Chain A
Amino acid sequence: MIEFDYTLRTVALGAAVLGLSSGALGAFAVLRGQSLLGDAISHAALPGVALAFLLTASKAPLVLVIGAGLAGWVGTLCVMGITRTSRVPYDAALGIVLSVFFGLGMVLLTYLQARPQASQAGLDTFLFGQAAALVGRDVATMAGIGALALVLMGVFWKEFKLLLFDADFAAVQGFPVRALDIGLTTLLVVAIVIGLQTVGVVLMSALIVAPAAAARQWTDRLIGVVAGAGAFGALSGASGAILSATTARLPTGPTIVLCATAVVVVSLAFAPRRGLVSAWLRGRRNRQVLRVAGTLEDLYTLALGHADPHYPHPAATLRTMTHSPDAVEPTLDALRQQGLVEARDDAWALTGRGLAEAQRLARDRGEGRDA
């Protein structure tokens, strides 16, 4: 039982570490419009894993991670090279690199499989990941690499921010944009390879994108997005790993991705300002306010046609003046509660304050037209 707890703790910790680093580092990629680059890099890493094993016969995490990182890096350079030198669009270049490198990885893995002396068991966990296989040493490796990448991100924070927002402006001020670009991409590669063994090449990109996409909904500051993405990533990683480790036949990578997706869905729906629910409520309130104002103005228009501005008009007349006649009665009620209109003889009239308010609205509107 103690044994199990230790394993579970290791697994949860490892998944949290990878979620933290991939979420935080992935935020930059998402903000740059490179969400899908992560997908290409993670697939491109597969042949690197196989080659590293083929050359060193070692399954030490650091060796495999370095192999994966180099291959992912080469893949990224291929994408850049293809788009710069030909008319093949960016996303097609990503797709080519993604599947060709992955195909090469398959070829290498099957080649290894056919060689009796080399047991390659464990390498195919790179496809879908396996948190249960994590041991303390893996977690330490992941944490070390991730911490290094995060420190670098912090040190060059200002430069990266400028690159992300306005690369030309960075160049004008004398910063080497190309070097910064390569540095930032390298950090992304690092973030991806950290998670490969746990989440797998197929789904790793989701852990780059989802935490940042969720965090963006809650904050309007870059530091907030990065920190939030790190936190959401760690949360998704840990909860997914624990669920997967404690439930039979629940693969780790997909479970972590589904946890991250749940965070995204909640964020998209319920984030205070940008969220869909709050936007819907705001829209409804605005429509309500507009309708109320509209009814008041309609009443004012009618009043202008009379010597007495407080002459009452029936609701039926107002209903003919609007696109949403059903809303006339409730809005009149709302106006009456605000003391802007009063009911007289089954009809409605502006009060003194209502007249003043209507005049103010008309004036504002006139100015708005000028601006």
Chain B
Amino acid sequence: MTPTTSASGAGRGPRTTHHAPNSPAIDVADLTVAYRDEPVLWDIDLVVPEGVLMAIVGPNGAGKTTLVKAILGLLPTAAGRVEVLGQPLAATRRAVAYVPQRGSVDWDFPTSVLDVVLMGTYGRLGWIKRPGAREKADARAALEQVGMADFADRQIAQLSGGQQQRVFLARALVQDARVYLMDEPFQGVDATTERTIVALLQRLREEGKTVLVVHHDLQTVPEYFDWVLLLNVRRIAAGPVAEVFTDANLRMAYGGRVPFQARSEESGGRGQEPGTPAPLADGERQRGDGTPPHPGSPAPNPSRL
């Protein structure tokens, strides 16, 4: 009954996308997402060419996670259009890999590291078919790439935060996609994991993949990425880091208070959110990670009721 016992030689799906040549990896036009009646993303236009390594940055509540989820079709959109590799998502799903926020799942779930990585093969396996020897080999190879090969049979609850993040990355790698969407992979990870992720991002870029990463640490944007999207409900700017990552744009995105701050000087500084201005919209509240509000943010108002 376990998905691991079936050895049916499920052939790896071919590169399923027959996208038009030269179409961008991601093409978002006029995208608006509203949460109840409040817009969380306003009229976003975004064209990301293939082979680009792009950071998505913006203050809390800017709609970064919402944008990623909307591109993936996980949220209803009020308006606009999303194309991946020149086609609607439904046609190019197989070419898209997703790394959700680490906190969005229950890590006490009874399963092993290898099993979680194997979940990345489920899409191409289709209904009912179980992962076989080939999928397992793929999964082990992906674990190797993130330095987690020795942990394949571990129960996932026994992993550190950084190790959990690397397992999620391996799961995305095994999807063998052309476009990767990652939601805060650097959130609260240790130095080893950060180095692993950076090396992985570089390699994906060398292989010509397109990677979009929701990112919090403005300091490392120029070092890690070559493109950046500055987002605050609407698109502030997008393009190559050298052109777009300017003081003026940052000030516009962060409402005049640019949260540059010395890294990792306070305890656990790497995992902390920079001191961001108060949320502008509800977008970030939908994040499933249950992160507590910023310590400086006002407490829920008891007089609301």
**B72, A172: Cβ atoms closer than 8 Å:** yes
Interface residues of B in 119-176 (CB under 8 A from A): 119, 122-123, 125, 127-131, 155, 157, 171, 175
**B106, A169: Cβ atoms closer than 8 Å:** no
**A165, B106: Cβ atoms closer than 8 Å:** yes
**A222, B111: Cβ atoms closer than 8 Å:** yes
In the bound complex, CA of A333 to CA of B101 (Å)? 49
- Ordered by A's residue number, 29 sampled pairs between the chains whose C-beta atoms are within 8 Å are A31-B106, A31-B110, A154-B1, A156-B128, A158-B125, A158-B128, A158-B129, A159-B122, A159-B127, A161-B119, A162-B119, A165-B105, A165-B116, A168-B98, A168-B100, A170-B122, A172-B74, A172-B98, A173-B122, A174-B90, A174-B93, A175-B122, A175-B123, A220-B111, A220-B112, A220-B157, A221-B110, A222-B110, A222-B115
Specify which chain A residues have a CB less than 8 angstroms from the CB of B3 in the assembled complex: 157-158, 161
A343 within 8 A of B: no
| B255 CB, nearest partner CB in chain A, Å | 30
| B262 CB, nearest partner CB in chain A, Å | 18
| A30 CB, nearest partner CB in chain B, Å | 11
**B122, A216: Cβ atoms closer than 8 Å:** no
In the bound complex, CA of A204 to CA of B171 (Å)? 38
In the bound complex, CA of A364 to CA of B110 (Å)? 32
A272 within 8 A of B: no
In the bound complex, CA of A172 to CA of B127 (Å)? 14
Specify which chain A residues have a CB less than 8 angstroms from the CB of B157 in the assembled complex: 220
B43 within 8 A of A: no
Q: B residues near A, CB below 8 A?
A: 1-3, 69, 72-74, 90, 93, 96, 98, 100, 104-106, 109-112, 115-116, 119, 122-123, 125, 127-131, 155, 157, 171, 175, 190-192, 288
A219 nearest CB neighbor, chain B only: B110
Specify which chain B residues have a CB less than 8 angstroms from the CB of A168 in the assembled complex: 69, 72, 74, 98, 100, 104, 288
| A257 CB, nearest partner CB in chain B, Å | 24
**B74, A171: Cβ atoms closer than 8 Å:** yes
Specify which chain B residues have a CB less than 8 angstroms from the CB of A156 in the assembled complex: 127-128
B109 nearest CB neighbor, chain A only: A165
CB contact between A223 and one of B1, B100, B155 (< 8 Å): that residue:
B1
A215 nearest CB neighbor, chain B only: B110
Specify which chain B residues have a CB less than 8 angstroms from the CB of A174 in the assembled complex: 90, 93, 123
Best-buried of B73, B111, B157, B171 by chain A (most CB within 10 Å): B111
Best-buried of B100, B109, B192 by chain A (most CB within 10 Å): B109
Q: How many A-B residue pairs have CB under 8 A?
A: 91
Q: What 0/1 pattern do residues 143 to 155 of A give for CB contact below 8 A with B?
A: 0000000000011
**B73, A171: Cβ atoms closer than 8 Å:** yes
| B156 CB, nearest partner CB in chain A, Å | 8
In the bound complex, CA of A22 to CA of B90 (Å)? 37
| B35 CB, nearest partner CB in chain A, Å | 14
Specify which chain B residues have a CB less than 8 angstroms from the CB of A220 in the assembled complex: 110-112, 155, 157
* Given A156-B127, A220-B155: 18 more A-B contacts, CB < 8 Å: A157-B130, A158-B3, A158-B129, A158-B130, A164-B109, A165-B111, A169-B171, A171-B73, A172-B72, A172-B74, A172-B98, A173-B175, A174-B90, A174-B123, A220-B111, A221-B112, A223-B2, A371-B190
**A161, B111: Cβ atoms closer than 8 Å:** yes
A268 within 8 A of B: no
CB contact between B119 and one of A165, A223, A371 (< 8 Å): that residue:
A165
A81 within 8 A of B: no
Specify which chain B residues have a CB less than 8 angstroms from the CB of A155 in the assembled complex: 128
A165 nearest CB neighbor, chain B only: B109
In the bound complex, CA of A144 to CA of B116 (Å)? 33
| A258 CB, nearest partner CB in chain B, Å | 26
Specify which chain A residues have a CB less than 8 angstroms from the CB of B125 in the assembled complex: 158
In the bound complex, CA of A82 to CA of B288 (Å)? 21
A328 within 8 A of B: no
A166 within 8 A of B: yes
| A177 CB, nearest partner CB in chain B, Å | 9
CB contact between A173 and one of B104, B123, B288 (< 8 Å): that residue:
B123
